[in-house]
A and B are shown apart, each in its own frame.
Chain A
Amino acid sequence: MNPTGTARTAWTFWKPALRQLWLPALVFGVLLVSTAGSTSFYFPPLTEVLDVLWTELLHGGLVGDLWFSLRNIVLGLALATVVGVGAGLVIGEVRTLRLATGPLLDFARATPTVGFVPVIILTLGIGSGPKIFLIFLGSVWPILLNTVSGVQAIGPAVHETARGYRIPWALRMRRVVLPGALPQILAGIRVALSIAVVLMVVSEIYGSPIGLGNFILQSGSSFHVAETWAGTILIGVLGYVLSVLLLLVEHALLGWYHQRAPRARRAVRPPTPPTQLTSTERATSNGVVV
C-alpha cells in the first residue's frame, strides 16, 4: 500500500489490475463476438444467453431457485464448519484420538459423497433437509481434517508458553489453539466450499421442485439450450461470489497472519514431518472440486 499521494496510489492499483484483467476481458469479448451471429443449436449467442438469464431472474422463478440453493449450501456449510472445527479441535488436541482415527478420517475423506446422493434422496425425500445433510456430509471432512492439521501445526513454543503460564484449558482452546489453527481451518473451508457447490447441484437432481441444479437439469433435458447455459453461468457466479466472500472473511480474520513476513509465518507453522494425516490439504485449496 503506497501512502504517498492519491494519484500514485490510483496508478499502483490500476496497473496490476489492468495486467490481470486484459486477458479475461479479451476472452469475454471474443466469446461475445464469435457467438454473436451463431445459429448453432448448442452454442447460442452469448448475448442471447445473458438476455435469458436476465429475464429469468426478473420474471421467471430463478430468484426463488437461487435463494433455495443458496440457503441450503449456507446452512450445510455452517453445520459442517461447527461440527468440523469442534471435532477437529478435540481430535487435534488429544494425541491418542488423533492417531486412532487417522486412517478412518482419511477413508471418509476419500469416499465420494456424490455416491450417497441416490441413497439419501431416494430414502429421505426431496426436501431441504436431506440436501442440507448431504452438503454437510461432504463438506465436513476437509474442514475437520484441516482443523486437526492446523492444531498440530501450532509450534511447540506456543504450547509451552501456555503451559508455563498455567493457562486454563478452555481459555487456551479459545485464544491459543483456535486462532493458531485458523489459517488451516479457513483453507479447509475453502476446499469444503467447492465440494459444497457440487453437492448442492447434484442433490437437486432427483426431481426437486426448485433449485438451481434442478433448473439446469430441467432446461437441459427439455432442450432449452439458452436457459441451460444461463443457469450454468449463474451457478458459476454463485460459486465465485461465495469464494470471494470467504476470501474477505479470511482477510478480516487473518490480518495478523498475512501481514507477517513469510519466515515469521513459518514460525507458527514449522515444517512438520509427514504424519498420519498428510492426505489432508495442508493449507492448499488448489481446485479439489468434488
Chain B
Amino acid sequence: MGIVIEPGMRVLAHGVGSREDLPIPFSYAVTGAAVALLVSFVALGMLWREPRLDPASQSARGRPAPRWLDRAVGSLPFRVGLRVLGVVITAYVVMAAVFGRDDALNPTAGAVYVLLWIGVPLLSMLVGPVWRALNPIRSLHWALSRLLGTRPEEGLAPLPAWLGYWPAAVSLLAFVWLELVAPENTTLPVLRTFFAAYLAVHLLAATYFGSGWFDRGDGFEVFSTLAGRLSPLGRREDGVLVLRNPLAGVAGTPVAPGLFAVVGVLLGSTAYDSFAGTPSWVSTLQSGPMPAEVTGTLALLGVVALVTIAFAGAAALSGRAAGLPPMQVGAEFAHSIVPIVMGYVVAHYWSLLVLIGQQTVIQLSDPLGTGANWLGTGDRGIDATLAGTTLTAVIQVLAVLTGHVLGVVLAHDRAVRLLPRRRAIVGQIPLLVLMVAYTVGGLTLLFAA
C-alpha cells in the first residue's frame, strides 16, 4: 500500500511530526534557567510555613461553582451525552482507520498523536478530566457489564493496592514507544494493530478488576485525569463542583505507588523526543551496528529510566534528611512533578498541536479519501499565527517556567505538611535540586536539540 507517485506530482506525506520548532534563542534559555533557580531558592526561605493545599483544609476547598453549572454537568443526560459523543468520535476515526485510504490525507494518525495524545490532556488542564467522561473503552465495558447483568465496578478480583499506577505507567510506555520508536507508526495497519491490542488488554483487565482499572491502568485516562487536576474546575470530596486553586487540585492527587513512574514516562519520553530529532542522533541511529528500532527502544527506555531513577533518588535523599522511608516520600511528592510534565508537554508540542491539530480537523472532513467535506472543514486552510517563531519560543519558556514554579510550590507545601518541622527545609533540597535539573535540562533541549 502506499501513495502512487507520478513524476513531479506533489502529495502530502504522512504529516505528523513533519516539522520541528526552531531552537529557542540562547538568551531565553539562560533567562529561564536563572529564573527557575532563583524562584526555587527564594521559595525555600519565603513561602508559607503552614500547609495551605491540604485537600481537607478550608483554604484548599475552593468556592462552589454556580448551582446551575454543577447540576448541568452532573446531570444524567449530560454524562450520557458525553459517553455517546466519545463513542461516536471514536467510531468515526475507526471508520477512517479501517475504510479510509492509507495516505497522508487520512486523519487517523493526527487524531491519535495530536488530538488524543496532546489535545485531550491540554483540554483536561482547562476543564477537568475529560477522557474519563469520554473514554470509549470505559463505555464499552459499561455496556458489556449491563448486558451480562453485572455491575461495572465489580470485577472478578479487586485491583491490588500495591499495583497503584504501575499499570498506567506500562500502558503509557507502550504508547510512547509507538509514538517515538515504532517503524511506520503513522500508517493504518500499525495504528489498527496497536489500538486493537490496546482495546483487548484494557477491556479484559477491566472485566477482571472492574471499572476501577481505568483509573489506574488506562494510560490515556490517567494522563488526562492527572492533567485535569490542574484545572480550576473540580469536584470536592463531597461531590460539589468547585472553582479551586489548581495547586489544590494537584495536591489532592491520590497518593499511590507508581505515580512517579507515570510522571517519569511522560517526562522522559518527551525529553527523548526532543533529542531524537537532532542530526547527530539520526546519524547514530542510521549508521549504528543495531537496527534503528533497537537503538531507539534502548534510548527511550534509558531516558525514561534516568528521569524516573533521578526522582526516586532525590526522594530517597529527602526521606533520609527528614527521617522518613524513601518509598513513602516518593509517593507523597510525585504529584509535584505533574505541572513540570505539563509545562514541558506544552512547550514541546505547542506548534504541533496548532498546526497538525488544524490539519487533522480539516482531514476529518474527508475520512475515506473520497473528496468529501462532511464536516465543512475540508476547505479551510491552516492558520499558523499561533505557531509563529517568536510566540512559540515565548510560550515554550513560559510553560516550562510556570510548570517549574508550580512544582516547587507543591513540593514545598507537601514538605511543610509531611516532614518534621525542623527538617522541612533541608528535606526539600534534594527534590528542589532535581526540579531545577529537570527544568534546566528541558530548556537546554529546547535550545540545543
A binds B: no
